[in-house]
Structure 1
Amino acid sequence: METGPHYNYYKNRELSIILAPFSGGQGKLGVEKGPKYMLKHGLQTSIEELGWSTELEPSMDEAQFVGKLKMEKDSTTGGSSVMTNGIKAKRADLVGEATKLVYNSVSKVVQADRFPLTLGGDHSIAIGTVSAVLDKYPDAGLLWIDAHADINTIESTPSGNLHGCPVSFLMGLNKDVPHCPESLKWVPGNLSPKKIAYIGLRDVDAGEKKILKELGIAAFSMYHVDKYGINAVIEMAMKAVHPDTNGEGPIMCSYDVDGVDPLYIPATGTPVRGGLTLREGLFLVERLAESGNLIALDIVECNPDLAIHDIHVSNTISAGCAIARCALGETLL
């Protein structure tokens, strides 16, 4: 019997690490350093030790984007913000530019039949990653691991930070909104609400709750994890995105590390207590690896600059690397 992950989709075990060091989807610099820190922690070598051949695929110039962000922050004109109903969709031009670059890089990887592991950066980069994966696998299901739903539209967002809006762009919910940023009109917006399931939710805005209910999106909060257990929730999520095949079919996982409780992963931009334990967070991707259905993985929102102590940096980066290793087949025995 063949063992190991991804044997249904990636028998060649070839993988590309896409670097997406972008922080413009939110207001805190430092999250662009996450990919570099994960590589310094030995992530690429540890993936190769699992039997994968790897290559690096940079998607953008980190220094260039940080420079643009600093210039915009210092600007008195508001830069590329777009005003809608009194709320600014902040740094819209930069988010559009960055996510298109990520889209191009991930498209190159998936079209070459390599597994895309994308390291963010903030969660706005998933606009690019998910769009590219859906081009290759239009029937793919998306598991969104996060404390937050990230499905605000540019009309409902209370903060204007676009890392809280990627799912609404992926679903095309902003296309008919007045003043939708021109820079993000490239997004296909073809993610079906029947093809996404959330795990780990515990901080959902009122506007997001309305969208989730109206569209009937599968959403498993920490209440469900506590009630049913993490394995049952994963099974329910996989069946929700592939109901006709009992959960079997291509699955992409977009993993915000704040889905895990900040006790374990403290250096992240929007921590919310009461989340997944580290073991639950790792079991989740171990189970996806075991299923053989995982076709792409994002790991986002590691921000070493927000650590209070060096141990917080170490804990956060090592946990992010562990998520990747477990998703790619690492087992205890």
Structure 2
Amino acid sequence: MPLSFLVKELESCLPTMPGFDNIKPCISAKDIAYIGLRDVDPGERYIIEQHDICCFSMQEVDKYGIKEVMERALQAVDPRGERMIHLSFDVDALDPTLTPCTGTPVHGGLSLREGSYIAEELANTGRLSVVDIAEVNPNLGNKLELDKTVSMTMEIIQRCFGHRRQGNYPKGYDIPRPGEKISTPTVKVN
């Protein structure tokens, strides 16, 4: 829904709404790739098909695997591999067993591994410039479910910023040698 206000091809479909007059469509439908779709309503399906928006349902993720889906999605929106990338990650794309505190839970979503892979691959491009996370609703569920939703969401965010599952080390790191004094960097926040 919010994305529809930004898509140039949908400008004629937008209602006039007080307070929204400063929002102007600024992206093309060809610049969008959806991954992990399921339970798409008729209006959304119509827009996707009429404007040839690149999309991959969970059936296609199952069929091709997340690696192939990511390659196809990136090829569709950035065939030369040179454009900056905006990731809008709706946590309801993950299976609701992982993120129960979302308003639109639909079973059969992405696994944490698939969500992590998406974020890692985008981080690996060096062109991930914007990340927004949507659909976390702390008013839904109990404390345990909220903690789980936040934990899974943080996993995805960390992957976007280069935290790799195989581990990381800081820039300039060297293995300490016996007898060397180990200096620990200090970060002060006021």
Aligned counterparts of 1:252 and 1:209: Cα–Cα separation in 2: 22
Any idea what the Cα deviations from partners look like across 1:2-39, whole Å, max 9, x if unmatched?
xxxxxxxxxxxxxxxxxxxxxxxxxxxxxxxxxxxxxx
One-letter code aligned to 2:62? D
The structure 1 residue matched to 2:41, chosen from 202, 205, 224, is: 205
Identify the structure with the greater helix proportion. Answer: 1
Describe the shift of the 1:178–1:191 C-alpha distance in structure 2 as closer, same or farther (beyond 3 A). closer
Task: Indicate yes or no: 2:128 matched with 1:294.
Answer: yes
Aligned residues of 1:239 and 1:248 also touching (Cα < 8 A): no
One-letter code aligned to 2:90? D
Runs of 5+ consecutive residues of structure 1 not aligned to the other structure: 1-164
Deviation at 1:322, TM superposition (A): 1.2
Give 3-state SS (helix, strand or coil) of 1:299's partner.
Answer: strand
Deviation at 1:175, TM superposition (A): 3.9
Aligned counterparts of 2:15 and 2:160: Cα–Cα separation in 1: 39
- Partner residue, 1:251: 85
Bigger RCO (CA 8 Å, 6+ sep): 1
Deviation at 1:187, TM superposition (A): 1.3
One-letter code aligned to 1:225? V
Aligned counterparts of 2:11 and 2:46: Cα–Cα separation in 1: 18
Give 3-state SS (helix, strand or coil) of 2:150's partner.
Answer: helix
Identify the structure with the greater strand proportion. Answer: 1
- Partner residue, 1:49: none
Describe the shift of the 1:330–1:207 C-alpha distance in structure 2 as closer, same or farther (beyond 3 A). same
CA RMSD in angstroms comes to: 1.6
Runs of 5+ consecutive residues of structure 2 not aligned to the other structure: 168-190
Describe the shift of the 1:188–1:179 C-alpha distance in structure 2 as closer, same or farther (beyond 3 A). closer
One-letter code aligned to 1:231? K
- Partner residue, 2:157: 324
The structure 2 residue matched to 1:187, chosen from 23, 34, 40, is: 23
Matched residues, number: 166
The structure 2 residue matched to 1:264, chosen from 86, 92, 98, is: 98
- Partner residue, 1:18: none
Aligned counterparts of 2:60 and 2:127: Cα–Cα separation in 1: 23
Identity among equivalent positions (%) equals 43
Describe the shift of the 1:313–1:171 C-alpha distance in structure 2 as closer, same or farther (beyond 3 A). same
Larger radius of gyration: 2
Aligned counterparts of 1:226 and 1:192: Cα–Cα separation in 2: 28
Aligned counterparts of 1:182 and 1:206: Cα–Cα separation in 2: 27
Aligned residues of 1:193 and 1:215 also touching (Cα < 8 A): yes
- Partner residue, 1:123: none
Aligned counterparts of 1:231 and 1:178: Cα–Cα separation in 2: 35
Deviation at 1:283, TM superposition (A): 1.3
Which TM-score applies when normalising by structure 1?
Answer: 0.48
Aligned residues of 1:281 and 1:323 also touching (Cα < 8 A): yes
Which TM-score applies when normalising by structure 2?
Answer: 0.82
Aligned counterparts of 2:118 and 2:14: Cα–Cα separation in 1: 39
Aligned counterparts of 2:56 and 2:78: Cα–Cα separation in 1: 16
One-letter code aligned to 2:96? P
